[in-house]
Chain A
Amino acid sequence: MLRLSVVNLLLVGILLLNLFMLGTSRIRALIHAAALQGVVLGAMPLLVGESSSWNGGLIAVATVVLKGRLIPQILRRALREAQIKREVEPLIGFVPTMLIGAAGTLLSIGFASGLPLAPEHRELLIVPAALSTVVTGFLLLTTRIKAITQVVGYLVLENGIFIFGLLLVEAMPFLVEVGVLLDLFVGIFVVSIIVHHINREFASLDTRLLSSLKE
């Protein structure tokens, strides 16, 4: 019982992080929030899964290292190279995005309530948290101008999906988990390389410059 409430508390924390990420205007803070989210996620499987196995532990460690250390590092490097103003530039203001995010959260809670859950998951906030995080990721992706903030958005999106993955700790085989993590890492890596090139080519990370290909 206690464990469940702890998990739920963590999930609420994640929801708060989402709102924070939507609200903050500092890129660095954004990156840190995402990293924090990653760490929490990494820890969670140990709490959710009844039988904590070797693999589970391994995955947890890998996740924490990856999401909490490596990826933020990469992003920070990109940020440093870019030498851009440290502000997040939104297409629509922070407050509106936060409101939309909140609305998204409510919507996802409503949606989740309609989905039949296994008895052991009924009490958990997992599905709403996952969906609202996904929505948050989408919001970051669609309403932020700088390329790097979009990368963070993508990261958050992935986090949301990971949260949902908590429901399947048993079902998901080790290999797949590893593969997913690997893909995520390589993905972020390649993206940041492209970000690097963008910065070199356009001397800025403003995606508004990236709209010469159109009808």
Chain B
Amino acid sequence: MLLVCLIALPILAAGLSAAFASERHRPLVLPVAAVAHLVLTLVAINASSSSVIGGWLALDPPGRLVLLLLSVLFALCAFYAVGYLRHRRELSNRVFVPCLLLFLSTTTLVTCSQHLGLMWVAVEASTLATAPLIYFNRTPRSIEATWKYLLVGSVGIALALLGSFFLAYASLGENSSLLFSDLFARAQHMSRSWLQAAFVLLVVGYGTKMGLAPMHTWKPDAYGEAPGVVGALLAGGLTNCAFLAIVRVFRICQAAGEGEYAAGLLVGFGLFSIAVAAVFMVGQRDFKRMLAYSSVEHMGLLVLGMGLGGSGIFASLLHMLNNGLTKVALFLSAANIHRAFDSKSIDDVRGAMRRVPLSGTIFLFGFFAITGSPPFGPFISEFLIVSRAFAADRYLVAGGVLLLLLVIFMGMGRTVMAMVQGTTSPAGERTSYHDGLLTGVPVALSLALVLLLGLHIPVPLENLLREAARFLETGP
């Protein structure tokens, strides 16, 4: 029942906020709902896995992990959003706020849906819920971004549906159901060729939502044009839901003895995504698009770690958390810088550390964190992934990844340094924005969490991670 509440709560809140008349007070629904959701989440995660509606809703270990991450991210973003919307009085938020809440509900549904079809429905729903968020700014550019997001995303999802059908057909038989547990149980009897085709379609489909190259093309546009808070939620939350979907299918493939093939596919996608991200991050002048490509890169790292197996699985799950939190810090501080300079091109943005000290500094450290510098969290997970590659004797993979990471560091760094260092550019003088409590604290908090994960992983969290890793390591 708890899970139902988890899903229903945001919907109710959405309805409530839609009913709200006042533009000023409507956003206040967000933090309330978010905190409530967080509390429920913590309860649900610690509660023994109770399945509802004939096992359609249940929390498997990776699901718990994603749900936790999601809820925390949303809480951070909710508080930020209140502050943010105060700065965007000129735009109506009566679509924005409910859609944010719908996003929360649908993604929560993804994390706890144990049915192949239901999961697809949830993912598709989350896509639709986010489209209006991207269109928040009401500019031609934002329309274009939304259009591309919708079209590419929906096509991808459609392929995922086809893939789900293939998988269903592969497992067709007496009293077969599409519950993951049943699929897992029947895995050995599935027909190989259907399964392979299904996996390809599912990876491409959900990979589109996740933003793996070459299906990543919507990402820079959407992240670039959407408000920073939406970018944070997409990069830190939605992508991970898609990753969760892929992981669940991957587990079934492993059980079916197709692990070899599936892992190969994942590693390939991972490397390709990192490479593509590297290419487009070099000389990137729009810092929000840069963050989008960085997200592509890290999605690549996630599937790469998953594909390498062994300790790589743990690493990739850990990296999911690290990347999510760091992305929030980056996107939100980037949004503040965007406000302060009223531009997201490094041609106008100079000396952010002098203009908005807090956001500028957080952005710089977020850059160090996301590029895998200790003592921040991503270093640990990236180090684990690389050393797993070495341990698995995939020296070329490891070497390639390291090389690409260097290229990415150089590409990203040149942009970031140009933004934060030096004396403030004239563009910075025109605006009146200054870091406030609501726009500052959540950002700092997320970076603090990243730092914490780098130095010490709390024991309960570590147990969650280990549990999830064990859950996924079940090969044939």
Q: How far is the CA of A173 from the CA of B176 in the complex (A)?
A: 11
Q: Is the Cβ of B141 less than 8 Å from the Cβ of A212? A: yes
A1 at the B interface (CB under 8 A): no
Q: How far is the CA of A176 from the CA of B197 in the complex (A)?
A: 22
Q: Is the Cβ of A167 less than 8 Å from the Cβ of B154? A: no
B93 at the A interface (CB under 8 A): no
Q: How far is the CA of A176 from the CA of B115 in the complex (A)?
A: 9
- Specify the main secondary structure of chain A where it touches its partner: helix
Interface residues of A in 176-215 (CB under 8 A from B): 176, 179-180, 182-183, 186-187, 190-191, 194, 197-198, 201-202, 207, 210-213, 215
Q: Is the Cβ of A187 less than 8 Å from the Cβ of B128? A: yes
Which B residues lie within 8 Å of A115 (CB)?
193-194, 197
| Given A116-B193, A213-B144, A168 contacting B168 (CB threshold 8 A) | yes
Name which of B217-225, B378-386, B418-426, B454-462 contacts chain A.
B217-225
Q: Please, which residue of chain B has its CB at the minimum distance from the CB of A111?
A: B197
Q: How far is the CA of A116 from the CA of B148 in the complex (A)?
A: 36
Which 4 pairs across A and B sit closest by C-beta, in order of nearness? A176-B117, A179-B121, A213-B221, A183-B124
Can you list 19 pairs linking A and B with CB atoms under 8 Å apart? A157-B155, A161-B158, A161-B165, A167-B165, A167-B169, A171-B172, A171-B178, A173-B177, A173-B178, A176-B117, A176-B120, A176-B178, A180-B117, A187-B128, A187-B150, A187-B154, A197-B143, A198-B143, A215-B220
Q: How far is the CA of A202 from the CA of B131 in the complex (A)?
A: 19
Q: How far is the CA of A28 from the CA of B146 in the complex (A)?
A: 25
- How far apart are B218's CB and chain A's nearest CB, in angstroms? 10
| Given A141-B151, A194-B143, A213 contacting B158 (CB threshold 8 A) | no
Question: Which of B118, B131, B141, B151 is within 8 Å of A213, CB to CB?
Answer: B141
Q: How far is the CA of A187 from the CA of B162 in the complex (A)?
A: 17
- Specify the main secondary structure of chain B where it touches its partner: helix
Q: How far is the CA of A175 from the CA of B193 in the complex (A)?
A: 28
Which A residues lie within 8 Å of B140 (CB)?
201-202, 212
Q: Please, which residue of chain B has its CB at the minimum distance from the CB of A211?
A: B144
A7 at the B interface (CB under 8 A): no
Q: How far is the CA of A68 from the CA of B224 in the complex (A)?
A: 38
Given A164-B166, A190-B132, 12 other A-B residues pairs in contact with their CB atoms under 8 A: A114-B193, A147-B147, A158-B158, A161-B161, A164-B165, A175-B117, A176-B117, A183-B121, A183-B124, A186-B125, A194-B135, A213-B148
Q: How far is the CA of A179 from the CA of B220 in the complex (A)?
A: 30
Question: Which of B117, B132, B135, B166 is within 8 Å of A179, CB to CB?
Answer: B117
Encoded as 1 (CB less than 8 Å from any A CB) or 0, chain B from 333 to 364 comes to: 00000000000000000000000000000000
Q: Is the Cβ of A172 less than 8 Å from the Cβ of B117? A: yes
Residues of chain B touching chain A, judged by Cβ–Cβ distance below 8 Å, are 115, 117-118, 120-121, 124-125, 128, 131-132, 135, 140-141, 143-148, 150-151, 154-155, 158, 161-162, 165-166, 168-169, 172, 176-178, 191, 193-194, 197, 220-221, 224-225, 280
Which B residues lie within 8 Å of A114 (CB)?
193
| Given A141-B155, A168-B168, A213-B221, A116 contacting B128 (CB threshold 8 A) | no
| Given A141-B155, A201-B143, A116 contacting B125 (CB threshold 8 A) | no
- How far apart are A161's CB and chain B's nearest CB, in angstroms? 5
Which B residues lie within 8 Å of A215 (CB)?
220, 280
Question: Which of A183, A198, A212 is within 8 Å of B125, CB to CB?
Answer: A183
A118 at the B interface (CB under 8 A): yes
Which B residues lie within 8 Å of A164 (CB)?
162, 165-166
Which A residues lie within 8 Å of B280 (CB)?
215
Question: Which of B132, B151, B168, B193 is within 8 Å of A154, CB to CB?
Answer: B151
- How far apart are A52's CB and chain B's nearest CB, in angstroms? 19
Q: Is the Cβ of B158 less than 8 Å from the Cβ of A171? A: no
- How far apart are A126's CB and chain B's nearest CB, in angstroms? 10
Interface residues on chain A, size class? 35 or more
Q: How far is the CA of A182 from the CA of B125 in the complex (A)?
A: 9
- How far apart are B334's CB and chain A's nearest CB, in angstroms? 17
Which A residues lie within 8 Å of B121 (CB)?
176, 179-180, 182-183
Q: How far is the CA of A213 from the CA of B143 in the complex (A)?
A: 11
Question: Which of B131, B158, B172 is within 8 Å of A194, CB to CB?
Answer: B131
Q: How far is the CA of A125 from the CA of B155 in the complex (A)?
A: 24
Q: Is the Cβ of B118 less than 8 Å from the Cβ of A175? A: yes
Question: Which of A161, A175, A183, A198 is within 8 Å of B147, CB to CB?
Answer: A198
- How far apart are B194's CB and chain A's nearest CB, in angstroms? 6
Which B residues lie within 8 Å of A198 (CB)?
143, 147
Q: How far is the CA of A158 from the CA of B160 in the complex (A)?
A: 11
- How far apart are A55's CB and chain B's nearest CB, in angstroms? 14
Which B residues lie within 8 Å of A173 (CB)?
115, 117, 177-178
Q: Is the Cβ of A194 less than 8 Å from the Cβ of B146? A: yes
Q: How far is the CA of A171 from the CA of B179 in the complex (A)?
A: 11
Q: How far is the CA of A158 from the CA of B154 in the complex (A)?
A: 10
Interface residues of A in 124-171 (CB under 8 A from B): 134, 138, 141, 147, 150, 154, 157-158, 160-161, 164-165, 167-168, 171
Q: Is the Cβ of A154 less than 8 Å from the Cβ of B154? A: yes
| Given A141-B155, A161-B161, A168-B165, A213 contacting B220 (CB threshold 8 A) | yes
- How far apart are B108's CB and chain A's nearest CB, in angstroms? 16
Q: Is the Cβ of A161 less than 8 Å from the Cβ of B162? A: yes
Q: How far is the CA of A164 from the CA of B131 in the complex (A)?
A: 28
Which B residues lie within 8 Å of A171 (CB)?
168-169, 172, 176-178
Q: Which interface residue of B141, B145, B172 has the most chain A CB atoms within 10 A?
A: B172
- How far apart are B206's CB and chain A's nearest CB, in angstroms? 15
Q: How far is the CA of A201 from the CA of B193 in the complex (A)?
A: 47
- How far apart are A44's CB and chain B's nearest CB, in angstroms? 15
- How far apart are A120's CB and chain B's nearest CB, in angstroms? 10
Which B residues lie within 8 Å of A167 (CB)?
165, 169, 172
Encoded as 1 (CB less than 8 Å from any B CB) or 0, chain A from 35 to 66 comes to: 00000000000000000000000000000000
Which A residues lie within 8 Å of B124 (CB)?
183, 187
Q: How far is the CA of A201 from the CA of B176 in the complex (A)?
A: 50
Q: Which interface residue of B117, B191, B194, B220 has the most chain A CB atoms within 10 A?
A: B117
Which B residues lie within 8 Å of A147 (CB)?
147
Q: How far is the CA of A179 from the CA of B315 in the complex (A)?
A: 35
